[in-house]
Structure 1
Amino acid sequence: MKKKFLISVLVLSIMVFVFGFNVAFAKQKVLVFGSSGDAVRLDPGDVTDGESIQRMDNIFEGLVEYKPGTTEIQPCLATSWEISPDGKEIVFHLRKGVKFHDGTDFNADAVVFSLARQYDPNHPFHKYGEWAYWGYMFSDIKEVQKIDDYTVKIVLKKKNASIMTSMAMFTVNIVSPANAKKYGEDAFKHPVGTGPFKFVEWIKDDHITLIANENYWRERPKLDKLIFKVIPDPSARLLALETGQVHGIEYPNPADFERIKKNPDLVLLTQPGMNVGYMAMNTGYGYVDKNKNGRRDADEPWVKTPGYYEPLTKKKVRQAINYAIDKKSIVENIYRGTAIVAKNGMPPFMLGYNEDIKDYPYDPEKARELLKEAGYPDGFEVTLYVMPVSRPYMFDPPKIAEAIQGYLGAVGIKVKLYQIDWGTYLEETEAGKHQMALLGWTGDNGDPDNFMNVLYGPNSASIGSAGNIAFYRDSAVQYLFDKALETYNPSDRAKYYKAAQVIIRDDAPWVYLAH
């Protein structure tokens, strides 16, 4: 019997796509995978969205990688490394004989090029990207030096407890310098890496096609061709699977799980998600990161965001909104058993999770009381950005938005729903053009900094490349995050994150929905 497969949550290994092929192939082994949205860019250093990363994980590689199913690192394009006693220098020894898809050599020059373009404002290719993730996760890197053709040294500004696990992330995957020079600002449309698959074509909002890398330094992929087909609607994705148009899909609607399980030709693959889905409220002020160093410097003042909206600058209003939304009902009736209610901004199993935090209960009367105290007894109008794609932390954003619209309407807040294409959605929320927005995060490296600092730190509230799309700017919180990142003892480090969660909970810039 032929089996077809579905993926209901994000699986971190690229081998997830191999699981999904129809075993009855003709001469060529082709997997067509139904995706919820299109990629935004195909440059590993210049993306923040999961759809782009999903494609690029098959094209590019880094110096190290995660062991399958874990956040432990192992060699990839580097065969070994040494860390200096003070933790501020890492020397990588590179794998020899590896070729990029364009036939050029992987070497130290390629490593320096791939990383320096992201942190050096004088690099000729720095102007071609926003390099947001570099600011989120790698701003402690001072310099990348070539020692010889197959040895590089990374020099840090200060100790960083998460740097080695972060080095396995897509952001620091290695691109072909020759290809970048050939295409310039359009290189993201013509990706060239060292990975198991080579890029063939990208028909925007329809599909991306990859073929097997015949000269891959590891074992050749078992698939000959991999096609990512864009099917935004989850019901249409499932129908495409059932009728044989695709061989696997992601993020089926939880309401369809029983239908899937009853079909002997379908197999549902699931695993626990390392994620959080939330609604962010734009608190009104961000900064322009002029030197793109990922930190707010003394000469970078707080300025109003384009989406500045006075009611949301008031803490009592944000607390009222938290009280007004019945998260338990949303999880039970929309997520349908695929999630748990979130009360903090990172998953419960992570280091530093504060179990003692008391979540906002569903209390419409308390919400009305706080709105009155804040000066809005009759409520106000507000616009909510709604994601146009399904993500592992939010399978059905429109339904969740409609539920929030109803709950807030019941306390006098009239919510207008706003939806645009995925690429523009990310651009506008990172630029702070929204008033409120649905979004979320899937962890990259298993480290709490990848949630707390990236999503909630004031340094991440940079207009145009914000990870912190609530533009929350409490300096005490940033101090706690910085201290945590410099601390190697796990129990001491956890204390900083727990203290930060107490402050964030009280300030209420987010409604944490689900994990």
Structure 2
Amino acid sequence: MTRKSVTLILSVFMALAMILAGCSSGGSGSSSSSAGKTLIFGRGADTTSLDPAVVTDGESFRVTQNIFDTLVSYDYSKQSTSILPSLATSWKITNGGKVYTFNLQNGIKFQDGTPFNAQAVVYNFDRWMNGKASGKFAYFPSMFGGYKGDAGLVIQSVTAPNANTVVFTLKRPSAPFLKNLAMSPFAISSPAAIKKYGKNYGVTAAVGTGAYSFKSWKRNDTITLTKNKNYWKKGLPKISTLIFKVIPDNSSRLNALKNGEIDLMDGVNPSDVAGLKGNNQLQVYTRPPMNIAYLGFNVTMKPFNNVKVRQALNMAVDKSGIIKAFYNGQAQPAVNPMPPSLLGYDKSIKPYPYDLTQAKKLLAQAGFPNGFTTTLYTMSNPRDYIPEPMNVAQSIQSTFGKIGVKVKIVTVEWSSYIDKLTKGGAPMYIMGWTGDNGDPDNFLYTLLDKDAIGSNNFSFYSNNQLHNILIAAQSETSDAKRVALYDQAQVILHNDAPWVPLVYANPVLVGKSTITGYKPSPTGTEPFDAVNIK
């Protein structure tokens, strides 16, 4: 072979290498070609299931939000919970708010190639409504009042007059109905995929109509989604691969971002925020606040079945100290079990004071002059509403000790933690909630009504007067009348004290400066279809 031939061959190889380099994504989406870009989102905990109907946790919805679509959607571009069309192009509300008729998108297919149509919508709702025996569709009774056959179920029927029309007939008007339909757990799955995979649906397969298709799941490590090339929103998504990476420790996650291992993350330690704002390689995001962190009591367990004990413990939590130590001022003390940003928040309710002397007196009146011994459960992973759960637990342990309440702390991994609380296995626990739909019903009814016991009511708290008020508030279409009802509800909850409301947090996220189009949603999850990397 001549020197000229060798030179020519080397030149060809170098040219091919340059072309291939231009087409590859790199680990953090460095390609200039939108077709090859990858975005890696760092988070503190893994998903529990990829079937949105069977989960209640934000880490699952963060992923499923991008695989599935709902009938209607929130206005994510404006970081709002206002309702927009999605799989339904339009709708009509008739019969005094008891009939909703939806016109559906035409010609859309699920990611497995089967058609999306009205029959698919009916199949999904029938699946959820008939879930009482399995009890696995926890969100459904939390938002719609029960399963099929339960007196409280607000949905009377879901029918498909034709392939492009779905009709919901309700037993009574439901003010939050449209907002409920936009929630992640009520995304529409492929009926064919559910039948094909059976118990493994949500484990080895997840099939929707969303911007990304499920590719792989390495437990407690990564979930990889790839671009749905047939996505019905033209020109979207803008990146080809979306990866959710678990890095439990907040500081380690931030280091991974700075080192280029991930592109975007949540769970920023509040103490790190000030330093990040001066880094021109990064951009800081604040999620619109719509959350609460709380200390809950299982009111069916002694001594937490005694209201004076619960009131005493409300007076033994130093909320201001917790905010100063673990939120760097990026939170405010919580008073009511819903955030101030929502319709009907009652500003007239006075918080329980931090008063250890009065707390001891109440304990004595309750029959515990020397206190008692109990267990406090907390999650091992940080959450938006509680970035340092163990430290908060230890703060509570310390102040409770001053009134004679001896606390043992037990930490549990996130997915197991949800299961334990759902089954009522924790006498006292730290938890939180990021609102799903911007309606007060999604806090008061979803978390504290008797209908939600066995799903999101981890305190197993039941109050018939509260239940009647919350059902009336659901059925009322006048905002002014709803506010009056929610005022009554918050007074009852303040006096009964099934929780110690801890803080309303201002969650911070941080990403590379090259990211465009990312807007955190107040609901805690958002689609990534419009997100891009420069």
Partner of residue 321 from structure 2, selected from 326, 329, 335: 329
| Aligned residue runs from structure 1 range 16-415, under 5 A | 24-25=30-31, 28-68=36-76, 69-121=79-131, 130-139=136-145, 140-189=154-203, 190-218=205-233, 219-284=235-300, 308=301, 310-415=302-407
Q: State the distance in 1 between where 2:472 and 2:305 align.
A: 27
- After TM superposition, the structure 1 stretch with the greater mean CA deviation from structure 2, 328-337 or 198-207, is 328-337
Deviations 1:273-326 (A, max 9, x none): 101110101100xxxxxxxxxxxxxxxxxxxxxxx2x11111111111111111
Q: State the distance in 1 between where 2:180 and 2:106 align.
A: 23
Structure 1 unpaired stretches of 5+: 1-20, 285-307
Q: CA deviation at 1:498?
A: 0.6
Q: In structure 1, what is the equivalent of residue 408 of structure 2?
A: 416
Q: State the distance in 1 between where 2:157 and 2:251 align.
A: 48
Q: CA deviation at 1:468?
A: 1.5
- After TM superposition, the structure 1 stretch with the greater mean CA deviation from structure 2, 256-265 or 325-334, is 256-265
Deviations 1:354-395 (A, max 9, x none): 111010111011111111111111111111111122222111
Q: State the distance in 1 between where 2:134 and 2:120 align.
A: 17
Aligned partner of 2:74: which letter? Y
SS at match of 1:325: coil
Preserved contact between residue 101 and residue 198 of structure 1 (Cα < 8 Å): yes
Preserved contact between residue 104 and residue 118 of structure 2 (Cα < 8 Å): yes
Preserved contact between residue 28 and residue 260 of structure 2 (Cα < 8 Å): no
Q: State the distance in 2 between where 1:509 and 1:208 align.
A: 37
Q: CA deviation at 1:78?
A: 1.1
SS at match of 1:191: coil
SS at match of 1:34: strand
| TM-score of the two chains, using structure 2 as the length reference | 0.85
Q: In structure 2, what is the equivalent of residue 435 of structure 1?
A: 427
Q: In structure 1, what is the equivalent of residue 18 of structure 2?
A: none
Q: State the distance in 2 between where 1:392 and 1:254 align.
A: 10
Preserved contact between residue 28 and residue 261 of structure 2 (Cα < 8 Å): no
Q: CA deviation at 1:128?
A: 5.9
Aligned partner of 1:441: which letter? W
Structure 2 unpaired stretches of 5+: 1-26, 146-153, 505-534
Q: State the distance in 2 between where 1:62 and 1:435 align.
A: 36
Preserved contact between residue 46 and residue 129 of structure 1 (Cα < 8 Å): no
Q: State the distance in 2 between where 1:128 and 1:361 align.
A: 43
Q: What is the aligned-residue RMSD (CA, Å)?
A: 1.5
SS at match of 1:356: coil
SS at match of 2:97: coil
SS at match of 1:71: coil
Q: State the distance in 1 between where 2:172 and 2:45 align.
A: 38
Q: State the distance in 1 between where 2:313 and 2:75 align.
A: 41
Q: Does 1:476 align with 2:465?
A: yes
Aligned partner of 2:239: which letter? L
SS at match of 2:342: coil
Aligned partner of 2:468: which letter? Y
SS at match of 1:340: strand
- After TM superposition, the structure 1 stretch with the greater mean CA deviation from structure 2, 355-364 or 63-72, is 63-72
Preserved contact between residue 29 and residue 38 of structure 2 (Cα < 8 Å): no
Q: State the distance in 1 between where 2:159 and 2:84 align.
A: 22
Partner of residue 489 from structure 2, selected from 470, 494, 500: 500
Structure whose alpha-carbon radius of gyration is higher: 2
Q: State the distance in 2 between where 1:142 and 1:389 align.
A: 40
Aligned partner of 2:193: which letter? N
Preserved contact between residue 116 and residue 143 of structure 1 (Cα < 8 Å): no
Deviations 1:166-186 (A, max 9, x none): 111112211001111110011
Preserved contact between residue 136 and residue 460 of structure 1 (Cα < 8 Å): yes
SS at match of 1:324: coil
Preserved contact between residue 289 and residue 341 of structure 2 (Cα < 8 Å): no
Q: State the distance in 2 between where 1:132 and 1:23 align.
A: 37
Q: State the distance in 1 between where 2:287 and 2:123 align.
A: 36
Preserved contact between residue 273 and residue 392 of structure 1 (Cα < 8 Å): no
Q: State the distance in 2 between where 1:248 and 1:72 align.
A: 26
Preserved contact between residue 226 and residue 241 of structure 2 (Cα < 8 Å): yes
Count of residue correspondences: 464
Q: Does 1:425 align with 2:431?
A: no
Q: CA deviation at 1:116?
A: 0.9
